[in-house]
Amino acid sequence: MSLAAAIFGGTAPYLNSWLTSRGTPDLFTWYVIVLALAVAAAAYFTQETKGLALTAVTDTPSETSVSPG
* Three-state SS annotation for the chain: CHHHHHHHHCCHHHHHHHHHHCCCCHHHHHHHHHHHHHHHHHHHHCCCCCCCCHHHCCCCHHHCCCCCC
pLDDT tens readout for residues 10-36: 889 999 999 999 999 999 999 999 999
Average pLDDT, the chain: 83
pLDDT band at 8 (very low <50, low <70, confident <90, very high): confident
The ranges assigned to domains in the chain are: 1-45
Percent pLDDT > 70 in the chain is 78
Q: Which residue has the higher pLDDT, 56 or 2?
A: 2
Are 61 and 47 in contact by the 8 Å Cβ rule? The answer is yes
Give the pLDDT band of residue 64 (cuts 50, 70, 90): low
- Measure the CA dihedral 55/59/65/67, to 10°: 30
